[in-house]
Structure 1
Amino acid sequence: MKIVVLGAGVIGVTTAWYLAKSGHQVTVLDRQTSPALETSFGNAGEVSPGYSSPWAAPGIPMKAVKWLFMKHAPLIIRPMADAATWRWVMAMLRNCTAERYAVNKGRMVRIAEYSRDCLAELRTETGIHYDERMQGTLQVFRDQKQLDGIGKDIEVLKADGVPFNVLDPAGCVTAEPGLAPVKHKIVGGLQLPGDETGDCFKFTNALHKLCEDAGVVFRFGVDIRRLKYERDRIVAVETSLGDVEADAYVLALGSYAPALVKPLGLDLPVYPVKGYSITVPIVDEARAPVSTVMDETFKVAITRLGDRIRVGGMAEIAGFNLDLPPARRATLEHSVEDLFGGAGDQKRATFWTGLRPMTPDGTPVIGPTRYGNLYINGGHGTLGWTMSCGSGKVMADLVNRVKPAIETADLALSRYH
């Protein structure tokens, strides 16, 4: 079949790879000049299935009120009169129950664990490199209440067979020697030894080249205007370079997907939750992290990427705003310097922001729509890199009418209806 994939971020490119590998003629359209120049460009760098948790969790509403008064808050809500924003926020709050959290986390861990396996297979098959490391991740807790609150997460990890270790401060230092000078600031940690790290931008660009070798056609600098349809099928994509026709279409446009499908009568509850990162050159190897450290207090991930440290985090409800406030950079700098002081040169750090396409329940939307040849692969939020390969493989299976290796019925858009 001829298949058009809309979007050349990590989700779009992995989807194109698996579709091409299964024998399809694939074309990828993107408005940027090359792959992974938006949300996939500067993310935190984690491939962390075990930490795949929805932001909508018990206690979050009360924490959100507290965060409003924090200098280095992990959640920022800018005053907005946009009805769509508040509709999404209310839907997220409805998911902040213990029952829904357990269901949503289970879904997320399922696709994330599968995705890590797919990534490992792809790496073995192709020899792809992207500053990858397989040394696990470590979530550090600065107070006892945080450590005491990991019970529900551990239940899910046990249920899904995910290896984990609960560590005391000395154990945290053993896992991450750079934490030794600040051991007194840590009460404990949760380590997931099976997690990985890597540069999503490097991965996506390397896979883009492999896709081209496999026959995938990439058309960059293309403005995607609308989807043309007749009855229950898409007949073409209208673009700035003319109509593009195919047998099937996969939407992987992240935060920009809802606007494209709204004229089709499809309500895709994906919101652009803004995140930030800094990338810091390492100047002291002994003080630097060896893998990923999650700073639970500030919801910041500190990741080793080759000779750099990527520090990413925060969730800002601000629509499609892409400004770079100094206060957000200060939060990232504070977290990394407080835990790994002097490891990197902050004067040479680069500051970045991206729009994470988040659903109110945290689970991505992967599956068909009521239009017979239109599929959605989006809404991965902060976990697009973690879930990318598994999502692409699942999507290829669904297009091929092959039963995926994992349950997917509860991942489709239909779950909201």
Structure 2
Amino acid sequence: MRICVLGAGVVGLTSAYYLAKKGFQVTVIDRQPGVALETSFANAGQISPGYSAPWAGPGIPLKAVKWLMQKHAPLRINLEPEMEKLLWIGRMLGQCTAGAYHVNKSRMMALAEYSRDQFIALRKDIGIRYEDGQSGTLQLFRKDEQVAAAEKDIKVLKALGVPHQVLTPAQIVEAEPGLTSVIDKFKGGLRLTGDETGDCYLFCQSLKEICESLGVTFQFNSDIKSLDVKANKVKGVETQFGVQAFDNVLVCLGSYSKELLKACEIDIPVYPVKGYSLTVPIADDKYAPVSTVMDETYKVAVTRLGGRIRAAGTAELTGYNLDLPKSRTETINHVVSDLFGKGCDLSLAEYWTGLRPMTPDGTPVVGASGIHGLYLNTGHGTLGWTMSCGSAAVIADIIAGSETEIDSAEFSAQRYK
């Protein structure tokens, strides 16, 4: 059976892999000249099931107002009126209740934990390497109220059986010795020992070769114009080269999924949330991170990738704008300098920006679309790398008509009806 996967980022590639393993004849189409050249190119490097949580939660509206007035704010909003942005913000605010937070976090954690297990199995099965590490994620709390606020997340971790450690400042430096000289800035930490790290771009390069060995074909430099749908059945995909026929189509286009689906009268609440990253070589290992640290105050993750430091953060609501102004990199610069400034020379940093496809409730959209033969795997937000293998395994089972290993109903687009 012929299936077309639209999008060659990490979600599209992992989907292609699991579909090929099930015997599908897979074609991947992407507008870029290669794999992982958009959102997957220079992300935070975290595979963080333990840190999987929706942005929408109690207290977030008030925090958001305060953030907008700070220099080093984790959130920025372009104030120019835009209907899609306003609608998305309104839906997200509707999820800022204790009940919704608990439901959404539980859903996200279940998928992310399953995905981490799939990563482990993938490494065992095919020996793929991507500067991967298995030393966990460490949340850093600069304020006592952050330590107290973490209690609600710890309850969810306990309920789901997710391994974690609550750390004192002294224990923080045992896990991350590079923080020794700045440990007086922190009140405590939460270490998620099951989390992993890795270079997503490197992973995608290797997985492409493995996919090709399984018979997957790739069509790059192909602009996806529309879906060919007749009588509520998908027939194929139109690019600048014409219409190609397929039995099934899987949309993995991240932030660009929504626009393509509109023509089919499918409306999913996915909005592009812009993020920034820097990558800098390590100059002194003694002052560098061991794994990933997440500065809870600035919502910036700093990750060790081999001989480099990758830092990523900032959420900016500004549509599909991909400009990279220096002013927008100041926060990630500040955090790296503040935590590991002795370990690197920031004058050598390389900067990048990308769009994360966010849903209002934080949970991705994975499943059937309502049109026969058309499926969705999109809306992973900042957790595309974390959830990629899990959501790919789920959608491959759905398309194959197999029973999924975790409950997939909660990821369906039907929850927005």
TM-score class normalised by the smaller sequence: over 0.9
Give yes or no for the alignment of 1:259 onto 2:263: no
Structure 2 distance, partners of 1:401, 1:88, is 32
Structure 2 distance, partners of 1:161, 1:247, is 40
CA RMSD of aligned residues (A): 0.6
Equivalence for 1:184: 184
Give yes or no for the alignment of 1:72 onto 2:78: no
Equivalence for 1:355: 355
Structure 2 distance, partners of 1:397, 1:152, is 33
Deviations 1:128-173 (A, max 9, x none): 1101000011000001000100111111111111001000000110
Equivalence for 1:220: 220
Equivalence for 2:244: 244
TM-score of the two chains, using structure 2 as the length reference: 0.99
Letter in 1 for 2:221: G
Equivalence for 1:318: 318
Contact 2:3 2:248 in 1 (8 A): yes
SS in structure 2 of the partner of residue 388 of structure 1: helix
Deviations 1:293-330 (A, max 9, x none): 00000000000000000000110000001111212211
Contact 2:228 2:243 in 1 (8 A): no
Equivalence for 1:134: 134
Letter in 2 for 1:150: A
Identity of aligned residues (%): 56
Letter in 1 for 2:165: N
SS in structure 2 of the partner of residue 152 of structure 1: helix
Equivalence for 1:292: 292
Structure 1 distance, partners of 2:223, 2:326, is 32
Equivalence for 1:342: 342
Equivalence for 2:36: 36
How far residue 81 of structure 1 moved from its aligned partner, in angstroms, is 1.3
Structure 2 distance, partners of 1:158, 1:337, is 34
Contact 2:173 2:180 in 1 (8 A): yes
Equivalence for 2:144: 144
Letter in 1 for 2:240: S
How far residue 242 of structure 1 moved from its aligned partner, in angstroms, is 1.3
How far residue 80 of structure 1 moved from its aligned partner, in angstroms, is 2.0
Letter in 2 for 1:361: D
Deviations 1:252-305 (A, max 9, x none): 000000010101111111000000000011001000000000000000000000
Structure 2 distance, partners of 1:337, 1:177, is 16
Letter in 1 for 2:263: P
Deviations 1:92-113 (A, max 9, x none): 0100111000000000000000
SS in structure 2 of the partner of residue 36 of structure 1: coil
Structure 2 distance, partners of 1:219, 1:370, is 26
SS in structure 1 of the partner of residue 172 of structure 2: helix
Structure 2 distance, partners of 1:348, 1:336, is 13
Structure 1 distance, partners of 2:374, 2:245, is 12
SS in structure 2 of the partner of residue 264 of structure 1: coil
Contact 2:46 2:292 in 1 (8 A): yes
Equivalence for 2:6: 6
Give yes or no for the alignment of 1:281 onto 2:276: no
Equivalence for 1:327: 327
Equivalence for 1:194: 194
Unaligned runs of 5+ in 1: none
Structure 1 distance, partners of 2:205, 2:56, is 32
SS in structure 2 of the partner of residue 351 of structure 1: strand
Equivalence for 1:206: 206
Equivalence for 1:377: 377
Deviations 1:315-364 (A, max 9, x none): 00000011112122111111011111221121111000000000000000
> Once superposed, which parts of structure 1, at least 4 consecutive aligned residues long, lie more than 2 Å away?
none
SS in structure 1 of the partner of residue 53 of structure 2: coil
Letter in 1 for 2:288: A
Equivalence for 1:54: 54
Contact 2:236 2:247 in 1 (8 A): no
Letter in 2 for 1:201: Y
Structure 2 distance, partners of 1:313, 1:343, is 19
Structure 2 distance, partners of 1:413, 1:76, is 28
Letter in 1 for 2:366: I
Letter in 1 for 2:66: K
Equivalence for 1:230: 230
Equivalence for 2:364: 364
Equivalence for 2:97: 97
SS in structure 2 of the partner of residue 341 of structure 1: helix
How far residue 19 of structure 1 moved from its aligned partner, in angstroms, is 0.2
Contact 2:136 2:191 in 1 (8 A): yes
Letter in 1 for 2:19: L
- The size of the alignment, in residue pairs, is 417
Give yes or no for the alignment of 1:407 onto 2:413: no
Structure 1 distance, partners of 2:129, 2:236, is 36
SS in structure 1 of the partner of residue 322 of structure 2: coil
Deviations 1:174-204 (A, max 9, x none): 0100010011001000001111000001001
How far residue 82 of structure 1 moved from its aligned partner, in angstroms, is 1.0
Structure 2 distance, partners of 1:244, 1:273, is 32
TM-score of the two chains, using structure 1 as the length reference: 0.99
